[in-house]
Structure 1
Amino acid sequence: MTQLPRGLRNNNPGNIRLSKDKWQGLRQEQTDGTFFQFIAPMWGYRALIRTLQNYHRLHGCRTIAEYINRWAPATENHTSGYISAVCREMQVPTTFEPDVNDQATMCAFASAISLVENGIPAVQQDVLDGWKAL
């Protein structure tokens, strides 16, 4: 039997790295050492969506390419391929400017990131529950 990808095992579909942030829904004990672990997938999606919203608000990200350049920097990722994959999944150009307050847009964005990170399509109810928890 194949093991789930790390991001899904951690209920952290965006593979958000450990930091000083005190996210809602964190597991009491963080045993990964690199990535946050959440008690349920919805909390990982909530953190992913909130991070994207903060990229807009705090860092001026506007286009999909700008968000992904920050999310998956070239020092760690094949960023251009990541951007292409997210845009292909969302069926938008790299210059698309997502409305960070629109449920459908942000759930699609989070789902696309999760697919790239984990190689498995997102469970849409988990993404929607994450949005509802904002």
Structure 2
Amino acid sequence: MRPLPRGIRNNNPGNLNYAGQAGAHKEPEPHGRFAVFATAQDGLRALRDQLLRYVERDRVNTIAGIIAKWAPPTDGNDTSAYAATVAARVGIGVQQRFNALTPDQLTALMHAIIRVENGQDPYGTLVDRVAREATASPPSIT
């Protein structure tokens, strides 16, 4: 049986680097750099909140811009291909500008990042519920 991808094992489906996120710790592996969350829901909330920070705090308003921050080429990523894949799944152009992400776009963006990061997306409607929580009570964007 094939081991689960690192992001799923770490309850960190977006493969966020550890940056002192509340409730997370740094993975213990010798060269660990990613956050480990207690639950998948906690990791999905961290993914959602980081995306909203990019849009609301940093004023990043394209998929290309989001993915350039999320998976920069300096980390060995094919950022252009990543952005094209995500944009196609979200249903907007790579360079198409937006003012804010709709709940449906945020959900699609989260699903797309999870799939690229892990090669699978086992979270189903949990992603939608977590994305829509932001509409009900927006996270603190600091």
- The bucket for the TM-score relative to the shorter chain is 0.7 to 0.9
Over 3 Å counting, the alpha-carbon distance change for 1:132 and 1:43 in structure 2 is farther
Determine the structure 2 residue equivalent to 1:38. 37
Equivalenced residue count is 131
Determine the structure 1 residue equivalent to 2:56. 57
Asked if 2 retains the 8 angstrom alpha-carbon contact of 1:42 and 1:129, the reply is: no
Q: Which has the higher contact order (CA 8 A, sep 6+)?
A: 1
Greater per-residue strand proportion? 2
Over 3 Å counting, the alpha-carbon distance change for 1:130 and 1:124 in structure 2 is same
Determine the structure 2 residue equivalent to 1:5. 5
**1:55 offset after TM fit, Å?**
0.7
CA distance in 2, matches of 1:82, 1:3: 23
**1:45 offset after TM fit, Å?**
1.1
Amino acid at match of 1:45: L
Amino acid at match of 1:47: A
TM-score scaled to structure 1, two decimals?
0.85
RMSD: 2.1
Larger CA deviation: 109-118 vs 96-105:
96-105
Structure 2 gap segments, 5+ residues each: 135-142
> Percent of aligned pairs with the same residue?
33
Is 2:24 aligned against 1:26? yes
Structure 1 gap segments, 5+ residues each: none
Asked if 1 retains the 8 angstrom alpha-carbon contact of 2:10 and 2:27, the reply is: no
TM-score scaled to structure 2, two decimals?
0.80
SS at structure 1 position matched to 2:36: coil
